[in-house]
Amino acid sequence: MTKTSFSIGGVQFPNRVLVASGTFGYGDECSSLVDVNKLGAIITKSLSMNPREGNPPTRIVETPSGMLNSIGLANIGVERFITEKLPFLETIQCPVIVNIAASTVDEYCAVLDVLEEHSRFDGYEINVSCPNVKEGGLSFGTDRVMTAEITRRLRPRTKRPLIMKLTPNVAFISEFARAVEAEGADAISAVNTLIGMAVDVQKRKPVLSTVTGGLSGPAIKPVALAKVYEASRAVKIPVIGIGGIRTATDAIEFLMVGATAVQVGTMNFVDPSAGVTIAEGIQAFCEEHGIPDTGDLVGSLDARVDSSVLTSWL
């Protein structure tokens, strides 16, 4: 039997396939379609202090092998999450990581403080791809100093794993990875969506109400792999690979380039049991190749040229 479990910051996960924030609701919605206890963990939709209504329509559009979204972090807010969703989460065994989004550093702290009062949660993933209202709406996540600052402020408030979720919309993700590692983050999730756009030529209008949105799905996998490769080589803490994972083979690619675990996002919309199928597929691959531990795949890439991601193809 292949060993599938692993741990981050002292928390044990039954396998290396987690479901990504914003693509699995708060966990309860999919429970009639998939045995959530077979997932490595559920990462909940980003929560802010107060409920957020989200952006006006149109919020989503399909693109070749992917989709663009501008949901606008629509969520029920941390208080309703505790009263409405915690009771279900208490009934399941799989780890639950709560994702937090905020428009100020203080708000990140406040949401985490509320969650700290409940023992059910196994860790936090911090979505820094949010507009920073104090800086005129510029994303925290593209500002290395702010990303580090959020980590520094949150770190002393919890002993639970603190996972910083990085955006790919920066030149060098390795710099951001190093910055959050230095501030005590337990792990990094990479990547969030890529900035993208679609145009309706009949109307001469952008399809999304916000003009640009976040690209996800199989279309982004090559970009995500390169970012995960770059980040995981820059830090010692685990990197959780995300972006376009559809099959077990996709997930194994991420493990090989250096991801300790992976998250499945957009594919949950197509098949809510994709995460479980992929976890089983990784295990089958290991058994087939006589690999005793799925962890043996991590960073096992045989890259003959040890070149920098930034120059190797120039």
Partner 1 sequence: MVQEQSQVISVSEVARNTYVLRFHSPRIARSVLAGQFVNIAVADDCDPLLRRPFSIYRAHGDTCEIIFNVVGKGTLALQKKSSRDVVNVLGPLGTPYSLESEGFMTAVLVGGGLGVAPLPLSTLILRNKGKELVTILGARSSEYLVEQHLENVHVSTDDGTKGMKGTAVDLLASLLPTQRWKSPKIFACGPTGMLRALGKFAVDRNIPCEVSLEGPMACGFGICQGCPVELVDGRSRYALMCKDGPVFDIRRISL
Ligand X SMILES: Cc1cc2nc3c(=O)[nH]c(=O)nc-3n(C[C@H](O)[C@H](O)[C@H](O)COP(=O)(O)O)c2cc1C
Show contacts with ligand X in window 29-68 (CB under 6 A).
45-46
For residues 189 and 72, what is the distance between their CA atoms, to the nearest angstrom? Answer: 20
**How far is residue 204 from each of residues 22, 127, 207, measured CA to CA in Å?**
30, 33, 9
Residue 193 partner contact from partner 1, ligand X, none using kind-dependent CB cut-offs of 5 to 8 Å: ligand X
Which of these ranges, 15-23, 26-34, 106-114, 287-295, lies near ligand X under the rule CB under 6 A?
Answer: 15-23
If one asks whether residue 161 binds ligand X (CB under 6 A), the answer comes out as no
Which residues, 6+ apart, have CB-to-CB distance to 253 below 8 Å? Answer: 221, 225
Which of these ranges, 59-67, 128-136, 164-172, 275-283, lies near partner 1 under the rule CB under 8 A?
Answer: 59-67
Q: What share of the chain is helix, strand, coil (3-state, %, to 5)?
A: 35, 20, 45
> Contact 216/243 with Cβ under 8 angstroms?
yes
Residue 21 partner contact from partner 1, ligand X, none using kind-dependent CB cut-offs of 5 to 8 Å: ligand X
Position among 145, 270, 305, 314 found at the interface with partner 1 (CB under 8 A): 270
- Specify the residue, 70 or 232, whose C-beta has the smaller distance to partner 1: 70
> Contact 152/158 with Cβ under 8 angstroms?
no
Closest contact distance (angstroms) between CB of 74 and ligand X is 8
If one asks whether residue 69 binds ligand X (CB under 6 A), the answer comes out as yes
For residues 97 and 293, what is the distance between their CA atoms, to the nearest angstrom? Answer: 23
Annotated catalytic residue 130: yes
Which of these ranges, 28-36, 146-154, 234-242, 301-309, lies near partner 1 under the rule CB under 8 A?
Answer: 28-36
For residues 49 and 105, what is the distance between their CA atoms, to the nearest angstrom? Answer: 12
30, 94, 109, 130: which one is catalytic? 130
Largest Cα separation within the chain, whole Å, is: 57
Q: What residue type is assigned to position 254 of the chain?
A: F
Position among 5, 10, 62, 284 found at the interface with partner 1 (CB under 8 A): 62
Q: Give me the residues that bind partner 1 (CB under 8 A), please.
A: 22-25, 29-30, 32-33, 45, 51, 53-62, 64-67, 69, 71, 74, 217-218, 246, 266, 268-273
Catalytic residue numbers, as ranges: 130
